[in-house]
Homo-oligomer: A and B are copies of this chain.
Amino acid sequence: MRAIFFLLIFLSQNIFAQESDSLIIRKFFNEELSKGKSYSMLDHLSNKIGGRLSGSPQAAQAVEWGKKTMEFLGFDKVWLQEVMVPHWVRGEKEQAKIISGKEKTEVRICALGNSVGTQKNGITATIIEVKNFKELEKLGRKNIEGKIVFFNRALDPTFITTGAAYGKGVDQRGGGASEAAKYGAVGVVVRSMTLAMDDHPHTGAMIYKDSVAKIPACAISTIGATKLSDAIKLNADTKFYFRQTCEMLPDEKSFNVIGEILGSEFPEEIIVVGGHLDSWDNGDGASDDGTGIVQSIEALRLFKVLGIRPRRTIRAVLFMNEESGVRGGDKYAELAKNNNEKHIAAIESDGGGFTPRSFGVDNEKAISKMQPWVELLKQYGISEIKKSWGGGGTDINPLKKEGTTLIGYHCDSQRYFDYHHSEIDTFDKVNKRELELGTGCIAAMIWLISEYGL
């Protein structure tokens, strides 16, 4: 009898808690969907500042904007964290041609991030197509030396989550140049990392190995890749010409931008929400990762404007340099450790501002604590809180060694890689309501962690 009595009390407490959580969460969404600032902030970041390569004047403007915005919103504390970042510049518009006998066909390329340039007049060489590093190894130096290598393994469209398809293809972009250089290649052309068939080349980071020559690397649009592959099939002596004047300059001083609202009961327990302030330069960086930036700021603004004081400290972090080095993420984790800060959870939004789907969490204990929350978030589009492959996000992953629970906000993935790292990653691709629903879900997740801990 007594057991039943306590069970009833326990159940009713839980039910009341769920009800009041549900009302708080509804307030976040009502405010955001009717008077939200996510979209107008994104408009400014995308259209007034634009592409924000690490070390660029635009990245500096974005830092300034982020700081002023959070100060204007009246967060309890706003500050900058200095960090030195790589400073790569694209240079002049890239050029490329397929040369088959006397026929020359222009194709659209862009330099990969961190790549060296070609000679001033570009390079021309016979081009050879491979699908992966194994094929390269099989072909060996005798077939590759002096040639340009064309990595043309398409992303697999049968993956339902596009990030999984990307994950299986991106080795070509990241490591292709150094792999090819091992066998004496003079340049690499990589099929754009997108599932769409169009004429927009997609840039993204590549990394040189120290042990081999640094050869220039570019991405070709998927339409260009198809043309190039067809040309090689027709004529094995097909040549490729490309010219790019990109270069790596000395490191630049930059900043993470941080704003926080102090917790009322456990101010020493910190919940981070963040995205990255830098972007590639060819588009305006709206989806990668302007959306994560404005959702992070806006989630805190919702607490502020609704007069909801969190029990734990909540902190919006605008990380610098995710795209080409993660220096901001590393610096943040380093300082968190040095300052003995206790980060109980970090949430990252870096998959675009599309319609909400799920949260991915890096540890089973937290996942199991969060399961009742799915019922609260379901009506807003969150159908699961589940184990996440690859942690919560590139910027927050360095916090893992301090035992922080890492959480990725996962919105719908179908459109993301259509725009990602390309000239069509622009403001008009983001839907106002989808962005706002994401902000609401993130604010709700912060609220629940702040109330109940992990």
Contact = CB atoms under 8 A, between A and B. Distances in A.
Nearest to A358: B383
Give the size range of A's interface with the partner. 20 to 34
A306 to B, nearest CB: 14
Contacts of A454: none
A29 B415 contact: no
A169 to B, nearest CB: 15
A211 interface: no
A121 interface: no
A195 interface: yes
Interface string A300-341: 000000000000000000000000000000000000000000
B414 A29 contact: no
Nearest to A411: B355
B433 A195 contact: yes
A34 B195 CA distance: 10
Interface stretch (A69-77, A108-116, A154-162, A218-226): A154-162
A431 interface: yes
Given A196-B432, A433-B195, A158 B34 contact: yes
Contacts of A434: 414-415
Interface string A406-418: 0000001011001
A158 B34 CA distance: 6
Contact of A383 (B158, B162, B383, B431): B383
Contacts of A158: 29-30, 33-34
A437 interface: yes
B162 A355 contact: no
Contacts of A157: 33-34, 433
A79 interface: no
Contacts of A378: 383
A380 interface: yes
Interface in A341-373: 355
Interface string A116-154: 000000000000000000000000000000000000000
B414 A160 contact: no
Contacts of A160: 29, 379-381, 437
Contact of A418 (B195, B196, B415, B431): B431
Contact of A414 (B414, B415, B418, B433): B433
Contacts of A29: 158, 160
Looking at A158, A195, A379, A418, the one whose CB has the most chain B CB atoms below 10 A away is A158
A434 B355 CA distance: 12
Nearest to A382: B383
Nearest to A415: B431
A355 B356 CA distance: 11
Nearest to A35: B157
Interface string A204-231: 0000000000000000000000000000
Contacts of A433: 157, 162, 195, 414-415
Nearest to A412: B355
Interface in A414-445: 414-415, 418, 431-434, 437
A353 B384 CA distance: 23
A3 to B, nearest CB: 31
Contacts of A30: 158
Contacts of A33: 157-158
Contacts of A414: 355, 431, 433-434, 437
Interface string A162-199: 10000000000000000000000000000000011000
A243 B102 CA distance: 60
Interface in A375-393: 378-381, 383-384
A281 to B, nearest CB: 25
16 contacts: A29-B158, A30-B158, A33-B157, A157-B433, A160-B381, A160-B437, A196-B432, A355-B412, A355-B414, A383-B383, A412-B412, A414-B431, A414-B433, A415-B431, A415-B433, A418-B431
Going nearest first, the 3 A-B pairs with the smallest beta carbon separation are: A383-B383, A33-B157, A414-B433
Given A160-B437, A162-B433, 12 more contacts: A29-B158, A29-B160, A30-B158, A33-B157, A33-B158, A160-B379, A195-B433, A196-B432, A355-B412, A378-B383, A414-B433, A415-B431
